[in-house]
Chain A
Amino acid sequence: MVQRIVIDPLTRIEGHLRIEADIQNGKVIDAHSSGTMVRGIEKIVKDRDPRDVWAFVGRVCGVCTSIHSLCSVRAVENAYQIVIPPNAQLVRNIMEAVLYMHDHVVHFYQLHALDWVDVVSALKADPVATSALAQKQSPWPKSSVGYFKALKERLIRFVGSEQLGIFANGYWGHPGYKLTPEQNLIAVAHYLEALEWQKEVVKVQTVFGGKNPHPNYLVGGMACSIDLQEANAINTERLNLVKQKLQNAKAFIEQVYIPDLLMIAEVYKEEWSLIGGGVSNYLTYGDFPLFEYGDTNNYKMPRGVVLNRDLSTIYPINATSPEEIKEYIYHSWYTYKQGNKVGLHPYNGETILNYTGPRPPYSHLDLNDKYSWIKTPRWKERPMEVGPLARLIVAYAAGVEPQKTLITDTLKQLELPITALFSTLGRTVARGLESKLVANWALEFYEQLIQNLKNGDSRMVNHYLWEKENKPKSVRGFGLTEAPRGALAHFIVIEDNRVKNYQMIVPTTWNASPRDEKGILSAFESALIGTPIYDPKQPLEILRTIHSFDPCLACAVHLYDTERRSIHQITVEN
């Protein structure tokens, strides 16, 4: 007997994702992932001045608000062959690092932790034992008996008030939760501390980007002037604030996030290092240029593809080759002029909407036909996983430090083989390790920036494109970045100094896309196959794997139909 579970929308993510999973003998045998909103950003930037596009695409998403702007200015700079000054590169790196730290920490605590942490169990914790455990795990100062006692009381009040709020959708008491009450209380304490922490670190974006959310970028550099002595510029005082925020961010990641991650990994490792592997192909564009964006050999995160978990070979990527990256629409609600089966490189990409699904509200999608607003991207015809795990696997395979040593040491500590990375747990651990790396890099970038300023280099903009006579009429370019949740590419075609075509391939498109014409599954669908489901009415295991990707549908797709709002629906059928 096959049972079908429908989860729609899958909560604790940005945007609307629907998962339909078929269960037989307690395991997932097939799964379909559907983006139920449509994106149309490509249309809004058509015919605009390419220099303005970053401001529009930055509005696509509230989670990774700045990364689309960064990707866009890179695409325009690539089109016009502009090299930005070193300081602008460093400022962009610092802002990107802040985005990573914010995104990864918020993902771990606010979006993913409750798949592993039972909030209700925390109410049974003994504050004395909790305090002892917390002090054993970390030097973090907030670990006294009184602290955990007060927290427990506050939690009892909160849960008792029937205002479960953020905690309302948990499967509390599910036997899949394995942490002790004390471990749960530590995690809940840090859930709340992370909320406070994230408020502070984003202030760095306002220093350099002028405002947040949606900080300012600029084609050719950054729109901020730095002068150590000048009261009206970003001066020593503002830079000290940045340094302090970066140091505090690092302390939290090292003393709170990493110990909690290892605590959770230790408890769940036996089962969850074997579940959720997925497509086994990993793609990253690389990011955090040390020098110029075009100098891809000097990125902190290396570029490349690993196929079939084979760590001995790294394949190079040519994002502009029409033979390498293609988007298909066989199962997506779009039309291509050349037909349903062709794949198009983004330079030739089309966005013609063609909704053929059922009229909402509906109970079923026709899974043999089109069933998602997400297109299906392929690299050399293969499905790819993108994200922190892909980045670390490529770095490991490339022998890049400090990634390789950090991975090796962590696996040793957890007594896990390298193959444990290819799993739901591997994805979650990779995100934490990456946060630790980025926290250090942010301070490196900062010190380099200060050094440049002290040496008298305060250049922040290359004005080339702002001088009219230099603009060639028709060019095209691409911007590649690694958003916190994975590989992000923007492609721009410019004619007569106006945008003729703009296409984006966002991380969740790679991960959440429907299968291709040949029936080959993309990352989400593939990762769910074989997942044991204890109780189809409480599909905790599906949430664990899907959340481990850090899905964000806001930019993968963008609107959703008017009839189905925030109804969280889990349907189980026989």
Chain B
Amino acid sequence: MNKKTLILGIGNYLLQDEGIGIHIIHILEKERLPSHISLLDGGTSGLHLLSWLQDYERIILIDATLDNNPPGTIQLIYPHHAKDFPPLMSAHEIGLQDMIEAMILTEHLPEIQLITISVQNINDIGLDLTPSIKASIPKVIHLIKQLVDDKSHKKRLSTVK
């Protein structure tokens, strides 16, 4: 039985690399995906997203992080608590953490797999990604496809080189 899964990209599309999560969704929109997979461009939203998230058994969340790793570093994290989330950024930061905590509090937390892409600069305004972040896209897409195919969902923390 395939888990009803939402691939959710969040971030600010206007802030270059900060919007990587949204760019990934736009690319996946052109791909052929199994019917139990849905895509959502979550933009900079926080609590607005709750209704959509809780409709799914599993969320694959894609976001940029400012964690001092080299830009383009991809990490896969299985957070159990809001505090397991790496420092997220910019305007959507507070909304997102509130949302995760709200799901814990309402005792309705889907399984979450968080893919973060390390970025270096969120001070620039623009729609185009920087080269190192752009170069990470195929790896992120590959990882997402692996997650989509993988039915075991083992709890693990790993870093993709």
Name A's B-contacting residues (CB within 8 A): 11-15, 37-38, 40-41, 43-44, 56, 59-63, 65, 102, 106, 110, 154, 158, 163, 165-166, 192, 195-196, 198-200, 202-203, 211-214, 554, 558-562, 565-566
Closest to B68 in A: A562
A192 touches B105 (CB 8 A): yes
B48 touches A59 (CB 8 A): no
Q: How far is the CB of B152 from chain A (nearest CB, A)?
A: 27
Whether B149 sits at the interface, judged by CB under 8 Å, is: no
A565 touches B91 (CB 8 A): no
Closest to B101 in A: A165
Whether B129 sits at the interface, judged by CB under 8 Å, is: no
B44 touches A199 (CB 8 A): no
Binds A, one of B27-35, B56-64, B117-125, B138-146: B117-125
Closest to A213 in B: B45
Whether B126 sits at the interface, judged by CB under 8 Å, is: yes
Closest to A158 in B: B105
Residue in B44, B51, B104 whose CB lies within 8 Å of A62: B44
Which B residues lie within 8 Å of A165 (CB)? 81-82, 101, 104-105
A199 touches B50 (CB 8 A): yes
Which B residues lie within 8 Å of A41 (CB)? 14, 125
Binds A, one of B71-79, B92-100, B153-161: B92-100
Whether B46 sits at the interface, judged by CB under 8 Å, is: yes
10 cross-chain pairs, A with B, having the tightest CB-CB distances, nearest first = A199-B51, A62-B44, A165-B101, A213-B45, A554-B91, A40-B125, A62-B45, A166-B101, A213-B43, A565-B87
A200 touches B48 (CB 8 A): no
Q: How far is the CB of A514 from chain B (nearest CB, A)?
A: 21
A-B contact pairs, 18 of them (CB 8 A): A13-B94, A14-B46, A14-B94, A15-B91, A15-B94, A37-B91, A44-B125, A44-B126, A60-B14, A158-B105, A195-B102, A195-B105, A202-B51, A214-B45, A559-B122, A559-B125, A561-B123, A566-B88
Closest to B55 in A: A199
Q: Which has the most chain B C-beta neighbours within 10 Å: A15, A63, A211?
A: A63
**Distance of A102 Cα from B45 Cα, bound (Å):** 13
Closest to B119 in A: A562
Q: How far is the CB of A559 from chain B (nearest CB, A)?
A: 5
Q: How far is the CB of B100 from chain A (nearest CB, A)?
A: 8
Given A40-B125, A59-B44, A213-B43: A565 touches B66 (CB 8 Å cut-off): yes
B127 touches A44 (CB 8 A): yes
A65 touches B66 (CB 8 A): no
Closest to A202 in B: B48
**Distance of A68 Cα from B81 Cα, bound (Å):** 33
Which B residues lie within 8 Å of A554 (CB)? 44, 91
Closest to A211 in B: B41
B48 touches A212 (CB 8 A): yes
Given A14-B95, A59-B12, A61-B91: A43 touches B106 (CB 8 Å cut-off): no
A62 touches B46 (CB 8 A): yes
Besides A59-B13, A62-B46, A198-B48, 15 new A-B residue pairs in contact (Cβ under 8 A), listed by A number:
A14-B94, A15-B94, A41-B125, A59-B12, A62-B43, A62-B44, A62-B48, A62-B91, A65-B43, A102-B48, A110-B98, A158-B105, A214-B41, A558-B90, A559-B123
Q: Which has the most chain A C-beta neighbours within 10 Å: B92, B93, B127?
A: B93
- Residues of B in contact, count (CB < 8 Å): 41
B104 touches A558 (CB 8 A): no
A44 touches B14 (CB 8 A): yes
Whether B21 sits at the interface, judged by CB under 8 Å, is: no
Q: How far is the CB of A281 from chain B (nearest CB, A)?
A: 29
**Distance of A364 Cα from B96 Cα, bound (Å):** 29
Q: How far is the CB of A47 from chain B (nearest CB, A)?
A: 13
A195 touches B50 (CB 8 A): yes
B87 touches A214 (CB 8 A): no
Closest to B123 in A: A559
**Distance of A292 Cα from B25 Cα, bound (Å):** 38
**Distance of A561 Cα from B66 Cα, bound (Å):** 11
Closest to B67 in A: A565
Residue in B45, B106, B122 whose CB lies within 8 Å of A192: B106
Which A residues lie within 8 Å of B50 (CB)? 195, 198-199
Which B residues lie within 8 Å of A211 (CB)? 41
A198 touches B47 (CB 8 A): yes
Q: Which has the most chain B C-beta neighbours within 10 Å: A40, A41, A211?
A: A40
Whether B137 sits at the interface, judged by CB under 8 Å, is: no
**Distance of A198 Cα from B47 Cα, bound (Å):** 8
Whether B69 sits at the interface, judged by CB under 8 Å, is: no
B95 touches A62 (CB 8 A): yes
A195 touches B106 (CB 8 A): yes
B105 touches A214 (CB 8 A): no
Closest to A62 in B: B44
**Distance of A14 Cα from B123 Cα, bound (Å):** 18
A63 touches B13 (CB 8 A): no
A106 touches B66 (CB 8 A): no
Residue in A11, A192, A195, A214 whose CB lies within 8 Å of B43: A214
B102 touches A166 (CB 8 A): yes
**Distance of A102 Cα from B51 Cα, bound (Å):** 13
Q: How far is the CB of A80 from chain B (nearest CB, A)?
A: 25
A562 touches B122 (CB 8 A): yes
A59 touches B46 (CB 8 A): no
**Distance of A37 Cα from B123 Cα, bound (Å):** 9
B14 touches A213 (CB 8 A): no
A559 touches B101 (CB 8 A): no
**Distance of A211 Cα from B39 Cα, bound (Å):** 12
Q: How far is the CB of A557 from chain B (nearest CB, A)?
A: 9
Given A59-B44, A196-B106, A212-B48: A562 touches B101 (CB 8 Å cut-off): no
A566 touches B48 (CB 8 A): no
Q: How far is the CB of A314 from chain B (nearest CB, A)?
A: 35
Which B residues lie within 8 Å of A63 (CB)? 46, 95
